[in-house]
Amino acid sequence: MTVPARIWTVVRSLLIPAALLGTWELLSRGGAAATYAFVPLRQVATAARTALSNGELIGNLIASAEHACLGLVAGGLAGLLLGACLGASRICDRILGPLFHGLRQVPLLGLAPLIGLSFGNGAGAKLLVIALAAFYPVALATAGGVRNVERAHLELGRALTLDRRQVFRHILLPAAAPAIASGFLQALAFAWLATIGSELLFTASAGLGSFMQQAEANGRMEMVIVGITAIALVGLAMNGLVIRAVHWLLPWHAVEQK
């Protein structure tokens, strides 16, 4: 691509955001009621600067990222375990599969009142929701990856008289790794959604969801917008990190960047 063409590409992708921001700013000048819903951009910028400089934003952001990572690891490992069982053993799939697919249909955040009642409204409940969110996609992807392993590879393994551990380590795991990787990528998006959701639904503590909930209660639209922007940026950053990690762990497998 030539340089002017590249500049044109950048300009073109910025046209719509610029138009949207312009419309927003125009709407914000339509009287007191409009200023409440469409806060002027200058006010948003000031709010962002304040929240950044007093450490409020960064603190909540780190807390949320911590919740998400913890839930992703806990739920992901559990999902890996169940998925491997479902994929490798047909009897396991027959017994646990229907229950797993049935429970999967219950909207996750709809479980919040139940979890709140049974496990309290605190950190444990949040972690459980986030872990569950990460659990389903990883289990599903792992089961699929293990199930779709090449028959010929398994037969080779048996011909070489590998024991079950060796079959798992040298055949099943490498074959299922790409599916597991995309499962984790999907799980990350769900875990992030569940993090924000659980912070909104459960008792306030540190976290971007609680930060926005408080801003909403105080009628501070500009702080809500700062929160949404931060959530978007953290989501993007985590997605990029996981894609990079997958490239590093599975260099032969190109993750579809969606």
Partner 1 sequence: MSLTHSTAIGARTELRATAPDGVRAARGFAPGVERSLGWLAPLALLTLWVATTRHASDGTAHVMVSPREVLDAARELAGSGELAAHVRASMGRLAVGFAVGASLGLAYGLVAGAFPAIRSLFGSTFHAIRQVPSIAFIPMLVLMFGVEETFKIVIVAKSTFFPVALATADGVRGVPRSFLDVARAYRVRGLNLLRYILLPATVPPIVTGLRIALGRSWMVLVAAEILAAESGLGQMMERGRQMLRLDVVLVGVLFTGVAGLALEEGMRLVERRLQRWRRA
Closest CA to 185 of 132, 253, 138: 138
Between residues 129 and 179, which has the closer beta carbon with respect to partner 1? 129
The DSSP annotation for 31-46 comes to -HHHHHHS--HHHHHH
Residues in contact with partner 1 by the rule CB under 8 A: 9, 12-17, 20, 36-37, 88-92, 94-99, 102-103, 105-114, 116-118, 155, 158-159, 164, 189, 192-193, 196-197, 200-201, 209, 212-213, 215-216, 219, 221, 224-225, 227-228, 231-232, 235-236, 239
DSSP result, 8-29:
HHHHHHHHHHHHHHHHHHHHHT
Q: Which is nearer to partner 1, 198 or 251 (CB)?
A: 198
Minimum distance from residue 251 beta carbon to partner 1 (Å) = 25
Number of helices (H) and strands (E), helices first, in the chain? 12, 0
Q: How far is the CB of 252 from partner 1 (least distance, A)?
A: 25
> Measured from the CB of residue 77, what is the shortest distance to partner 1 in angstroms?
21
Largest CA distance in the chain: 79
CA-closest candidate to residue 137, choices 92, 83, 178:
83
What is the Cα–Cα distance from 9 to 199, expressed in whole angstroms? 38
How far is residue 54 CA from its own chain's centroid?
Answer: 27
| Tokens found for residue 212 | 């926005």
Which CB sits closer to partner 1, 36 or 66? Answer: 36
Q: Which is nearer to partner 1, 111 or 251 (CB)?
A: 111
Rounded to a whole number of angstroms, the minimum distance from the CB of residue 196 to partner 1 is: 5
CB atoms within 10 A of CB 23: 11
Name which of 57 and 215 has its Cβ closer to partner 1.
Answer: 215
Task: Please report how close the Cβ of residue 114 comes to partner 1 at its closest, in angstroms.
Answer: 5
Which residue, 2 or 252, has its beta carbon nearer to partner 1?
A: 2
Please give the Cα distance from 93 to 75 (Å, whole number).
19
Q: Tell me which residue has tokens 């409440």.
A: 36
Work out how close the CB of 88 gets to partner 1 at its nearest, in angstroms, rounded to a whole number: 7
